[in-house]
Structure 1
Amino acid sequence: MLVALEGLVALGLGVYVAVEAIVGRPESMTSAVAEAGFGLLVGAGLLWVAWGGLFKVERWGRAPSVLTQIFMIPVAVTLIQADRPVLGFPLMAVALVGLGVLLAPPTTKALYGEDG
C-alpha cells in the first residue's frame, strides 16, 4: 500500500510540474520537461510494481520497492541538510517504515512461503 501511495505522489508531482511548465514560465523548459517526465515515469513504475508485484504477492515486487526506499534515504538527508526538515523528516520516516514492512518476516513469509 505504501509503495502505491509513493507512486501516486510521484505521478501527481510529475503532472504538477508538467502543468506548471505549460502554464507558467519555468527558468529552463528542458529541466521542467525532464523533471515532469521523470516524475511520471517513476510514478507509473511504482504503481506497476505495487499493483503487479506486491498486491498480487509476486516475489519480484519486493526488490524494486526496497530499492526505492533506499534511494529515498539520501534524498531525505539532502532535504534535511538543505534546511527543509519539514519535507526531509517525513520522507525519511516513510522510507524507514517502508523498508521495515518490506523486509519484515511476515512479508518474507507471504512472498516466499515457509522456506523463505
Structure 2
Amino acid sequence: MKIGIDSYCYHRQFGDPYPGLQEPAAKRMDVWGFLNRARRLGVAGVSLETCYLPPIDRPFLDRLRSWLDAAGMERVWAWGHPAGLKSGTDHEAARDLVRHLGHAQAIGAK
C-alpha cells in the first residue's frame, strides 16, 4: 500500500471553505506549499485538484513535473467541473476534460 494525499484535504487553505460551515484558513496555501507539506509528511504521492492550480501553461507543467520527479512522488491529475458533464450534454466541459488529459500526461500522471 502507498499513502498519498489529495490537495482537496487543504481546500480551506486554498481559499475554498464550505459556505456556512467553515471559515477560510488563517494561512493560505498554493500548490507549491501543498507539495512541500506533502514532502515533509513523507507521502508516496499526491493528487492535484486542478481547481487549486494556477493558470496552466507549459512552463508550469514542466516545473511541476520536475518538482514531482525530483521528490520521487507519484501523481494524480484530478480534474473536475463544478456541474460535471451533465450526463454528457455539456460539450464545453467535455472539451475541458480532454484538454486536461494532455496536462496529466505532461506531468507524468499514470
Q: TM-score, normalised by structure 1?
A: 0.33
Structure with the larger RCO, 1 or 2 (CA within 8 Å, 6+ apart): 2
Look at both structures and tell me which one has the larger radius of gyration over its CA atoms.
1
Structure number having the greater strand percentage: 2
